[in-house]
Amino acid sequence: DFESAIAEIKPAFGAVTETLAAYVLNGMIDFGEPFRHLLATCQTLVEQVRSSEHTPLLTALLEGPAGAGKTALAATLGLESQFPLVKVVSSDAMVGFSEPAKAAQIAKVFEDAYRSPMSIVVLDDIERLLEYVPIGPRFSNGILQALLVLVKKQPPEGRRLLVIGTSSAPQVMADMGLADAFNVALHVPAVRDAEVATVLKALNAFEPSQVGAAVAGLAEAEVPIKRLLLLVDLARQGVPAGAPIPLERWHQVLRDLALN
Amino acid sequence: DFESAIAEIKPAFGAVTETLAAYVLNGMIDFGEPFRHLLATCQTLVEQVRSSEHTPLLTALLEGPAGAGKTALAATLGLESQFPLVKVVSSDAMVGFSEPAKAAQIAKVFEDAYRSPMSIVVLDDIERLLEYVPIGPRFSNGILQALLVLVKKQPPEGRRLLVIGTSSAPQVMADMGLADAFNVALHVPAVRDAEVATVLKALNAFEPSQVGAAVAGLAEAEVPIKRLLLLVDLARQGVPAGAPIPLERWHQVLRDLALN
Amino acid sequence: DFESAIAEIKPAFGAVTETLAAYVLNGMIDFGEPFRHLLATCQTLVEQVRSSEHTPLLTALLEGPAGAGKTALAATLGLESQFPLVKVVSSDAMVGFSEPAKAAQIAKVFEDAYRSPMSIVVLDDIERLLEYVPIGPRFSNGILQALLVLVKKQPPEGRRLLVIGTSSAPQVMADMGLADAFNVALHVPAVRDAEVATVLKALNAFEPSQVGAAVAGLAEAEVPIKRLLLLVDLARQGVPAGAPIPLERWHQVLRDLALN
Amino acid sequence: DFESAIAEIKPAFGAVTETLAAYVLNGMIDFGEPFRHLLATCQTLVEQVRSSEHTPLLTALLEGPAGAGKTALAATLGLESQFPLVKVVSSDAMVGFSEPAKAAQIAKVFEDAYRSPMSIVVLDDIERLLEYVPIGPRFSNGILQALLVLVKKQPPEGRRLLVIGTSSAPQVMADMGLADAFNVALHVPAVRDAEVATVLKALNAFEPSQVGAAVAGLAEAEVPIKRLLLLVDLARQGVPAGAPIPLERWHQVLRDLALN
Amino acid sequence: DFESAIAEIKPAFGAVTETLAAYVLNGMIDFGEPFRHLLATCQTLVEQVRSSEHTPLLTALLEGPAGAGKTALAATLGLESQFPLVKVVSSDAMVGFSEPAKAAQIAKVFEDAYRSPMSIVVLDDIERLLEYVPIGPRFSNGILQALLVLVKKQPPEGRRLLVIGTSSAPQVMADMGLADAFNVALHVPAVRDAEVATVLKALNAFEPSQVGAAVAGLAEAEVPIKRLLLLVDLARQGVPAGAPIPLERWHQVLRDLALN
Amino acid sequence: DFESAIAEIKPAFGAVTETLAAYVLNGMIDFGEPFRHLLATCQTLVEQVRSSEHTPLLTALLEGPAGAGKTALAATLGLESQFPLVKVVSSDAMVGFSEPAKAAQIAKVFEDAYRSPMSIVVLDDIERLLEYVPIGPRFSNGILQALLVLVKKQPPEGRRLLVIGTSSAPQVMADMGLADAFNVALHVPAVRDAEVATVLKALNAFEPSQVGAAVAGLAEAEVPIKRLLLLVDLARQGVPAGAPIPLERWHQVLRDLALN
Ligand SMILES: Nc1ncnc2c1ncn2[C@@H]1O[C@H](COP(=O)(O)OP(=O)(O)OP(=O)(O)O)[C@@H](O)[C@H]1O
Ligand SMILES: Nc1ncnc2c1ncn2[C@@H]1O[C@H](COP(=O)(O)OP(=O)(O)OP(=O)(O)O)[C@@H](O)[C@H]1O
Ligand SMILES: Nc1ncnc2c1ncn2[C@@H]1O[C@H](COP(=O)(O)OP(=O)(O)OP(=O)(O)O)[C@@H](O)[C@H]1O
Ligand SMILES: Nc1ncnc2c1ncn2[C@@H]1O[C@H](COP(=O)(O)OP(=O)(O)OP(=O)(O)O)[C@@H](O)[C@H]1O
Ligand SMILES: Nc1ncnc2c1ncn2[C@@H]1O[C@H](COP(=O)(O)OP(=O)(O)OP(=O)(O)O)[C@@H](O)[C@H]1O
Ligand SMILES: Nc1ncnc2c1ncn2[C@@H]1O[C@H](COP(=O)(O)OP(=O)(O)OP(=O)(O)O)[C@@H](O)[C@H]1O
Ligand SMILES: [Mg+2]
Ligand SMILES: [Mg+2]
Ligand SMILES: [Mg+2]
Ligand SMILES: [Mg+2]
Ligand SMILES: [Mg+2]
Ligand SMILES: [Mg+2]
């Protein structure tokens, strides 16, 4: 049923490359040195695949908390690379697929990459691709084995491939042997302390003099960029366009909504 | 068999929107401040999706004890919103469906929502959708994974979507990663202390002077609204229409029926 | 295969209503106050469904030891009710059925009930419907989920439904969330102390002067009615019709047969 | 596939009744009082089904160590009863059958019994019918549930049925709820002490004066009848027909063969 | 699919009897008294089946360490017996077979045996037939149940059958109830102490004066015959045909190759 | 479905032998005595199969850390042997295959080997062939059983076969009984201490005077050859072809990339 599985997935295929930009919907805010260093390291890997003679295959795992910006970073690298083929393997496009259909879709993306001289394949949210749930735990071993093999399989002669995986569960990746199967693992952090203020300023969210108080209102020491952006947007409800968010409104949002 | 599953569910579809009102069969009794605050917070979320430019997708989980009124609240929000598409995904309409058929039905509701400019999708009684049972525990991982993806999947450009989930098992939601997948979690409480009297008065169940004694007859400090309504209705058996319930009848019902 | 499952069960259907009387094969012996109180409470529930405007659905779980008379009680209520539709869902008629076929049969009975203005559905021996076995434990989650949904699903407007479940394993019902899904849980007790004598007298089993000695011969303090009836019948072997059972014969039966 | 399962088993059916005598291949040796009491109790049950008006269904479980003679006893009762239908349900005739095919075959035997005015059904070696193995443990829940239902299902009006089960694992029967599902449980013991000598004499195995020494040679205090018969037969190898077994030969067999 | 399974296995069948000799590829070396006593006991069992009137079925389990010579012994008994039918059931010929196909093949061999007046069936390497693995543990319960039944099933009147099982895991056989299902269990030992020298001499492996030193070179006190034969053969590499193995070469082999 | 599985795998077959050289992509660097001793021992095994009369089947397991060079060593032996048939069984060519298809493919390679007078079959990365994952643990028992049988199955008369397995998880191999099923187990080590310098020199990676400092920069005492080669290649990014790697660049690579 692998054959039929391949047939099943064809119509969904055209959409894969088109969606690349949609993963950076809210842009990339430069919130400081850690972000810049991480970006530079990632760009090194892209260059290695582009230029080295001995590294036809390089594989990197981006891990960090939910909403830290892993997917946006991977998509940004893909967009910057200008490689002829950049594809994101995401569960978004595979809801309700059977395990063989998923495995076939993933394998198909790699097949396509093997035919292109230079490619990036993003394995987005590997826990979701694996249908992982901590209760049990349960996951699709078929998908896991496919990933373990594909992440180590040399491309045909003359082809070059960068595989970028993203995951919010580094321990799960380690337990499954996936962390070891990648050449490199890089941590994508949440926004911390002073960096939060940098982001709030970049968004023009508060009166400059109130940014400190706004930061103090957050209970946690660090907050993922995605969540920070949502909090600001919720607080802007009812605030005239362009005007700063009043501090009371900000505190009300933080209190009423047990935001994840 | 995803295709065939989709085929299988078509005839059941027309009925989904029609049933919206049926979930508020006994009206919404205003039993005090906590209820009003919760309702207002929920209405904020509806407004955010209606008006914000940066929040095309917002997701809220309503959790609380069985019979607390979670489903009635979600349905009420849907009715009030006047959004062009409001759909309830409920196990009621999927008894005996296979897992792929269920997953297909759920995905189909989201597909429909992606085609409407503004939508509300209610995932009602998520434990039942997941076929969860604490012994084991067992549940449908296929449905769980579909929910985990659909709850985080951005609608296409220009579409806005509010997803409201309901659940009586917040710990299960947390263990499965579903609680974290929603943006917001809100608690729907049972009726407490003075609020019980408010409800009994609103129902004209007792002689005003006997309401205090009727409340005292209840063993538990708090009681879900659904159960309170049933108790009153059972006690009314044999009581002439419009007449107040005699206290003895009330005590007999509380004693004889080990009501859940 | 739900469709085909429905097809599969059709021929078995005519028989369901006919068998109602067969569950009260040995009549209902009035063995005292607890029995009469229980019967009256149950009759209250039937009246509630018949007459209340706000309770279109009422659900009651009868639980008690094996052979206590749960099924006979449920069948008696059905016979007395004179409702246009009374159906017993029993594993007797589903030996060897696949899980989907069972679920379909159960759903079909509820479908029928939704078409009748007033109905009683008896879910007899829920552990057996669930294929429950304590080793593991194992059970059919498909059937369980169907029951959890059907027991809470409102009938269409204008229809009224009383669901009576029977079970010998109240803890299992609780663990599975089934106990909470029913509105009411009622205990059906075994026959105790003085009540045993009442039954033996009603059966004309012994010389009136020997009833006390006969009761004393029973090791256990309480005995389910079904077992008591079997013991008496076994003891009657070889005793001329109408004559009382000699005490020695009674003691021999109690000794030789490790009766369950 | 229940239908096809029924089709599958038809050809094997004629053979069932014919094999009844084959289960008592080595006759029934009267080895003393316990044996006679057990046989008499069993015969009582056959009479009850034959003559009582209130006991259309009676069910008895014969449990005891492997080789104790359970199957031979059940077959003997069947042969003696002269009932128009006596059938043995045995795994012997179902090697390699799928679970539904087994369940169908078992159900078919009961169907046949329901059509005969008076019947005995022997469920032989229930652990094997259940495909039970203590590692896990594993067993066929489908077969178990079929047995739990069939053992309690009343035959149609006017039909009478005695069900005899055999098992070497009473604890397993209890854990699975099967022991409680039978009306009566009777223990079939191994041969003990003086009874061993009775058997050896009945077989003319030794010089009368050497029987005591032969019994003393056995390590265990009790030995199942089937094993005792095999030991004697092995010891007879090389001994002229009709001649007694020399004690040395007997001891050699007991030493060399770690007989089960 | 039992039928189709039978169809699937037909072509492989002719080969079964032919391979009998191949299991004794390196002959049977008489390495002392324990070997001769075991062989004699086994031959007794063959004679019993050939000549006894009361033992139409006899079953023996040969257990011992891997490479001890269990299969070679069973094959030798089969060759010596001159029975019209001797068949080996081995996983060698069933690689990749489904469970029903394996069960069907095994049942087929017994069917053939029931048609022959006198037969030997060897169930070789029962752990492999059962697909046993200690992790879990896992095994095919379908095959296990088939073996449990077939090993106790009486052949038809007038047919005689000796079943010989082999196993390297006596504890597993006991846990599964297979050890008890066989009439006799016999231990096949590894080669020990002085017996090692006997084997080395029989093979003309060393200068007679060096046999003691060669034996001393072995770390373990006992060594399975199969492994001993391989060690000698590896040591012979580079040694002229017929010449004795130099001690250094022997020690090099023992050191370099962590032989199992 | 074994038949259809065989059909499924045919087109993939031609590629198997061709890929042999691709497993030694970066050549074999002689990094010292342990490497040479291991190579020589392996070559002895090839000679044994080529020349011995009594060893038609020899099986060796190469185990060692990930990237130690196990696959390259096995492929090198195959290339050197000049045997008419050398095949690598690798998961690379079986992504997404069902278990029966994998088992069929593996069996097919052995079938081919049985037809060639002299063969080498490499079972590469046995954990992957088994779809092993430590969580659970889970693995394909069907593949495991096929390997357990094939590794011990004698080739037909006149055929000779060397089976080389590779594995990074010796404990798993032992637990599954696979380690015992091979005749020989050999350890393939990572590069250690002074050997690291040998490799770096052979690659002309650093100024000769800086090799010591470069070795000191590595945190671990030993490093698999594959990883060492990748580190050097990454460090060469931006370094002119032929020029030595500056030490700072080397340290940056070691610091930034948490290399596995
Ligand atoms: N410096 C930044 N790095 C990453 N994302 C950023 C940054 N600045 C803004 N963003 C925005 O933040 C969001 C990050 O969300 P993203 O989905 O990439 O997070 P994630 O870590 O993949 O989350 P999840 O764990 O849910 O998959 C995007 O909308 C992106 O446009
Ligand atoms: N203030 C209120 N809030 C919610 N429901 C109310 C209120 N007042 C009256 N009701 C009535 O109470 C009932 C609440 O039942 P509902 O099914 O919504 O509870 P639930 O929490 O979804 O229960 P469950 O856990 O069984 O799904 C409805 O019939 C509704 O009409
Ligand atoms: N007062 C009584 N209540 C119930 N049953 C009675 C009473 N008097 C006599 N009986 C008879 O006792 C028997 C009770 O058996 P019934 O099958 O109803 O028990 P049960 O609790 O459903 O048993 P099980 O747990 O095996 O399902 C019936 O034959 C019924 O006719
Ligand atoms: N008094 C006796 N009772 C039962 N069997 C006897 C007696 N005397 C002799 N036999 C013979 O002993 C054998 C008993 O074997 P049987 O198969 O009935 O034992 P079992 O308990 O069913 O064994 P298993 O546990 O293996 O099923 C039969 O061959 C029977 O003919
Ligand atoms: N006395 C002996 N007994 C048994 N085998 C012997 C003897 N002498 C030599 N051999 C040879 O030793 C080998 C024993 O291998 P065999 O396969 O029978 O062992 P096994 O116990 O079945 O091993 P495994 O546990 O791997 O199945 C055969 O090649 C046989 O020819
Ligand atoms: N002495 C050597 N031994 C083995 N490989 C070497 C040696 N020198 C260089 N190499 C190169 O090192 C690499 C070893 O990688 P290989 O895939 O064989 O390792 P492996 O142990 O099979 O890894 P894995 O555990 O990932 O399967 C090959 O590219 C090979 O060309
Ligand atoms: Mg992401
Ligand atoms: Mg609800
Ligand atoms: Mg009942
Ligand atoms: Mg028996
Ligand atoms: Mg063997
Ligand atoms: Mg390798």
Contacts by residues B32-37 (CB-CB < 8 Å, ≥ 24 positions apart)? B32/B194, B32/B195, B32/B198, B34/B189, B34/B195, B35/B195
Q: Report pLDDT for B21.
A: 86
Q: What is the ipTM metric for this complex?
A: 0.93
Chain C, window 196-235: residues with a beta carbon less than 8 angstroms from a chain D beta carbon:
229-230, 233-234
| Dist. CA B72 → ligand 2 center (Å) | 5
Q: Within this chain, do residues F107 and F37 fall inside the same structural domain, yes or no?
A: yes
Q: Within this chain, do residues D143 and D208 fall inside the same structural domain, yes or no?
A: no
Which percentage of chain E shows pLDDT scores above 90? Answer: 85
Spatial contact of D67 and D57, defined as CB atoms under 8 Å apart:
no
Domain extent, residue A213, equals: 191-256
Q: Within this chain, do residues B103 and B170 fall inside the same structural domain, yes or no?
A: yes
Query: Within 10 Å of residue F34's Cβ, how many Cβ atoms?
Result: 14
Confidence of residue B9 (pLDDT cuts 50, 70, 90): very low
Q: Report pLDDT for C124.
A: 98
Average the pLDDT over each of A123-132, C7-16, F189-198 and give the range with the smallest value. Answer: C7-16
| Closest alpha carbon to B163 in B66, B86, B76 | B86
Q: Within this chain, do residues E115 and E47 fall inside the same structural domain, yes or no?
A: yes
What does the pLDDT average to over C193-208? 95
Spatial contact of C51 and C157, defined as CB atoms under 8 Å apart:
no
Q: Within this chain, do residues B164 and B212 fall inside the same structural domain, yes or no?
A: no
Confidence of residue F259 (pLDDT cuts 50, 70, 90): low
Greatest Cα pair distance, chain A, in angstroms, is: 63
Ligand located closest to A90 CA: 7
The C-alpha of B150 sits at a distance from chain A's nearest C-alpha, in angstroms, of 7
Q: Within this chain, do residues F244 and F217 fall inside the same structural domain, yes or no?
A: yes
Closest Cα in chain E to D1: E1
Q: With beta carbons under 8 A apart, name residues in chain B contacting C101.
A: none
Q: Within this chain, do residues E17 and E41 fall inside the same structural domain, yes or no?
A: yes
Q: With beta carbons under 8 A apart, name residues in chain D contacting E180.
A: 66, 260
How many beta-carbon pairs under 8 angstroms link A with B? 81
Q: What is the pLDDT of residues F1-60, one digit of tens each?
A: 444 444 443 333 333 445 788 899 889 999 999 999 999 999 999 999 999 988 999 999
- Is E102 among the catalytic positions? no
Q: How far apart are the first and last CA of chain F?
A: 40
What does the pLDDT average to over E180-196? 95
Q: Within this chain, do residues C29 and C144 fall inside the same structural domain, yes or no?
A: yes
**How distant, in Å, are the alpha carbons of B93, E129, E176 from that of E99?**
39, 10, 18
3-class SS of residue D165: strand
Chain A, window 124-143: residues with a beta carbon less than 8 angstroms from a chain B beta carbon:
128, 131, 133-135, 138
Ligand located closest to F224 CA: 6
Among C149, C151, C161, C173, the strongest candidate for a mutation testing the B interface, having the largest count of B CBs within 10 A, is C149
| Dist. CA E216 → ligand 5 center (Å) | 23
Confidence of residue B167 (pLDDT cuts 50, 70, 90): very high
Q: What is the pLDDT of residues E194-223, one digit of tens each?
A: 999 999 999 999 999 999 999 999 988 899
What does the pLDDT average to over D135-161? 97
pLDDT > 60? residue D11: no
Q: Report pLDDT for D102.
A: 97
What does the pLDDT average to over C134-150? 97
**How distant, in Å, are the alpha carbons of A153, D113, D177, E176 from that of D122?**
60, 11, 18, 25
| Dist. CA F62 → ligand 6 center (Å) | 12
pLDDT > 70? residue E14: no
Q: Within this chain, do residues D27 and D135 fall inside the same structural domain, yes or no?
A: yes
Q: Report pLDDT for B6.
A: 40
Q: Is the peptide bond before F65 cis (omega within 30 degrees of 0)?
A: no
Q: Report pLDDT for B1.
A: 45
pLDDT > 70? residue C10: no
Ligand 2 binding residues, C-beta < 6 A? B 24-29, 31, 35, 66-73, 125, 166, 168, 225-226, 229
Q: What is the pLDDT of residues D190-248, one digit of tens each?
A: 999 899 999 999 999 999 999 999 999 998 889 999 999 999 999 999 999 999 999 99
Ligand 4 pocket test target in D19, D42, D62, D71 with most atoms within 8 Å of CB: D71
Which percentage of chain F shows pLDDT scores above 70? Answer: 92
Which of B157, B187, B217 is where one domain is finished?
B187
| Closest alpha carbon to C257 in B133, A136, D40 | D40
Which of C129, C158, C187 is where one domain is finished?
C187
Phi-psi region of D177 (alpha: psi -120 to 50; beta: other; left: phi over 0): left
Q: How far apart are the first and last CA of chain A?
A: 40
Q: Within this chain, do residues B119 and B248 fall inside the same structural domain, yes or no?
A: no
Q: What is the 3-state secondary structure (H, E, C) of chain A?
A: CHHHHHHHHHHHCCHHHHHHHHHHCCCCCCCCHHHHHHHHHHHHHHHHHHHCCCCCEEEEEEECCCCCCHHHHHHHHHHHHCCCEEEEECHHHHCCCCHHHHHHHHHHHHHHHHHCCEEEEEECCHHHHCCCECCCCECCHHHHHHHHHHCCCCCCCCCEEEEEEEECCHHHHHHCCHHHHCCEEEECCCEECHHHHHHHHHCCCCCHHHHHHHHHHCCCCEECHHHHHHHHHHHCCCCCCCCCCCHHHHHHHHHHCEEC
Q: What is the CATH number of the domain that holds E57?
A: 3.40.50.300
pLDDT > 60? residue D53: yes
- Is B125 among the catalytic positions? yes
Average the pLDDT over each of A103-107, B3-7, E52-56, F133-137 and give the range with the smallest value. Answer: B3-7
In whole numbers, what is the pLDDT of chain A averaged over residues? 91
What does the pLDDT average to over D169-176? 98
What does the pLDDT average to over C130-152? 98
Out of C55, C92, C112, C152, which one is annotated catalytic?
Answer: C152
| Closest alpha carbon to D28 in D260, D229, D241, D250 | D229
Q: What is the pLDDT of residues A162-211, one digit of tens each?
A: 999 999 999 999 999 999 999 999 999 999 989 999 999 999 999 999 99
Q: What is the pLDDT of residues E65-104, one digit of tens each?
A: 999 999 999 999 999 999 999 999 999 999 999 999 999 9
Q: Report pLDDT for F102.
A: 97
Q: Report pLDDT for B259.
A: 61
Which of C187, C216, C238 is where one domain is finished?
C187
The span from the CA of E85 to the CA of D247, in Å, is 35
pLDDT > 90? residue A61: yes
pLDDT > 60? residue F116: yes
Q: Report pLDDT for E11.
A: 34
More confident residue, F14 or F172: F172
Confidence of residue C21 (pLDDT cuts 50, 70, 90): confident
Q: How many domains does chain A have?
A: 2
- Contact at CB, A128 and B148, closer than 8 angstroms: yes
What does the pLDDT average to over C170-189? 97
Q: Within this chain, do residues E79 and E180 fall inside the same structural domain, yes or no?
A: yes
What does the pLDDT average to over B173-187? 97
What does the pLDDT average to over A113-132? 98
Give the pair of three-digit tokens for residue C124: 């007899």
Which percentage of chain D shows pLDDT scores above 90? Answer: 85
In whole numbers, what is the pLDDT of chain D averaged over residues? 91
Q: Report pLDDT for F193.
A: 83
Neighbours of chain B (3+ CB pairs under 8 A): A, C
- Is C70 among the catalytic positions? yes
Confidence of residue B19 (pLDDT cuts 50, 70, 90): confident
| Closest alpha carbon to A113 in A81, A155, A151 | A155
- Is F124 among the catalytic positions? yes
Average the pLDDT over each of B162-176, D107-121, E123-137, F214-228 and give the range with the smallest value. Answer: F214-228
Which one-letter amino acid corresponds to residue A237?
Q
The span from the CA of B188 to the CA of E165, in Å, is 66
Q: Within this chain, do residues A204 and A122 fall inside the same structural domain, yes or no?
A: no
